[in-house]
Structure 1
């Protein structure tokens, strides 16, 4: 009887984990916060986030209250910064985005694309500010 209960509990845990994986896999953009820490610049902090894009997904125009360095981990991402020609980056390439510059990013590859976004931003401000 004890063996049956242990097996049933294990099956429930596996089923629950599969549901969590399925739910998160359906999100077009997933953000995973990695680091958030004060820095020596008064009133500012460093924030690092992994952003995963489903195929064809667009992160609409937005800006940040500080600088961003976007490093493509996998796939192909097209960045459109206001006033600039769009640029497509492949895995291993990086882009500097100045403070307050509106921009968008789109997964232009066939599979998932991911970036490591590092921000130096004003502490206490919203990290992402949508553009209207």
Structure 2
């Protein structure tokens, strides 16, 4: 059973639904591996943003390393403010730092996101 299906099944049993992805965003998990550091894993995913789509302020239980594959994406990183990156640019988001992403253009945008995260913790925590 895939990790996402397992999480959804546990949430359904507990009467909680996993947080829905914002419209116009799609994450495709490419690979997930245990690291040599006990209790840690890596997850690599492609994240696609339709024109105008955004992902609200959130954090991760580890670092996120971003490479923009195509388009332009505006990020707002707590403590740094908002800035725009384009295809070929990179970004590092430290563990626990809240950030958001938005495709402010009229063309699709994509990023390759590599997460180095603590195992067993939710990948995304939305800012309340």
Give per-residue Cα distances to partners, 1:45-88, cap 9 Å, x unaligned.
00001000010111000000000001110000011011112121
What are structure 2's unaligned runs of at least 5 residues?
1-22
Looking at CA atoms only, which structure, 1 or 2, has the larger radius of gyration? 1
**Offset of residue 124 of structure 1:** 0.9
Residue 31 of structure 1 is matched in structure 2 by 27
What are structure 1's unaligned runs of at least 5 residues?
1-26
Alignment of structure 1 residues 73-84 onto 2, 5 Å? 73-84=69-80
> Over the residues paired in the alignment, what is the CA RMSD in angstroms?
0.8
Residue 89 of structure 1 is matched in structure 2 by 85
Establish whether residue 103 from structure 1 lines up as the match of residue 99 from structure 2.
yes
Compare the two structures and name the one with the higher helix fraction: 1
Q: Which runs of 4+ in 1 moved over 4 A?
A: none
- Distance in 2 (alpha carbons) for counterparts of 1:48 and 1:125: 16
Q: Paired residues, what number?
A: 106
The alignment partner of 2:81 has SS state of coil
Residue 45 of structure 2 is matched in structure 1 by 49
Q: TM-score, with normalisation over the residues of structure 1?
A: 0.78
Corresponding residue to 1:60 among 31, 56, 63: 56
